Structure 1
Amino acid sequence: MHRVTYEAANGPIPAGLVVDHLCRVPSCVNPLHLEAVTNAENVRRGSNTKLTMADAVAIREEFAQPNPRTKQAVADAYGVSRTAIRLLLTGETWVAA
């Protein structure tokens, strides 16, 4: 329903973007609370995000060095999944602003 509300107020959702709830309430359909953003930005804004931007920078810096820890070791250290580390490293999440 939030997608329908967004499109009624703003037109089509641009390709490659998703609708984010600025109020952080997933059931909200107030068009003033909806914004089209990249999936990475939507994830970054999420209330359950365990990593900070500083964490993301540190992780990327570690993997830019020779012989970094394994993705699993880094994930365990930060309390996230190995998939979260992979998505961060491929730029699918935590895109620098």
Structure 2
Amino acid sequence: MATDKDVLAARIKAKSVPDGECLIWTGSTLGKHKYGGLKVGRTMLYAHRLSYELSKGPIPEEMLVMHTCDRPACVNPDHLVLGTQKDNMDDMYAKGRNTPTQGEINGKAKLTSEQVEAIRMRFVPYCRINGGGAIGREFGVTAQAISSIIRGESWKL
């Protein structure tokens, strides 16, 4: 008779495909980093964490499951190790995965460097024509975004 653990392992296997040494999750994903998600009962769990638990045991509350292959969709237990948030950040910096995505290289950027320079040149506080609200409407961003640009909190050129 199959145990709950066997059933979950079979579900993970059914939703994964080999890619080199990795086992890539093809089911639903959770979060912006595209970690695999698997519904167990009424709860959505991260597939890589479940894979770790099924093969290596419980995950202490303060620990993360890190990918040695740096592929969030990988559920290969051989590529999963425990670490703290500090370990995870140290790993990110050591592997050069901390590349900033500011300015135009950010895929969500709505403005160009030239537009930001023009905004800074034109801005006049509380002005109906060249204030944050008016400029924001013209460039398709919020008054808060204009304010952040003016204060130097975003778009540090």
Q: TM-score range by the shorter chain?
A: 0.5 to 0.7
Kindly report structure 1 stretches of 4+ aligned residues shifted beyond 2 Å.
1-6, 8-11
Q: TM-score, normalised by structure 2?
A: 0.37
Q: Tell me the equivalent position of 1:22.
A: none
Unpaired runs of 5+ in structure 2? 1-65, 71-84
| 1:61 paired to 2:124 | no
Q: Distance in 2 between matches of 1:50 and 1:84?
A: 10
More helix by share: 1
Q: Name the % identity.
A: 23
Rate the CA distance shift 1:95–1:5 in 2: closer, same or farther, 3 A.
Answer: same
Q: Distance in 2 between matches of 1:90 and 1:9?
A: 30
| 1:51 paired to 2:51 | no
Equivalent residues in 2 for 1:1-97, closer than 5 Å = 4-8=87-91, 10=93, 31-32=95-96, 34-35=97-98, 37=100, 42-44=101-103, 45-63=105-123, 69-96=130-157
More strand by share: 2
Unpaired runs of 5+ in structure 1? 12-30
Number of residue pairs the alignment of both structures matches: 70
Larger Rg: 2
Q: TM-score, normalised by structure 1?
A: 0.57
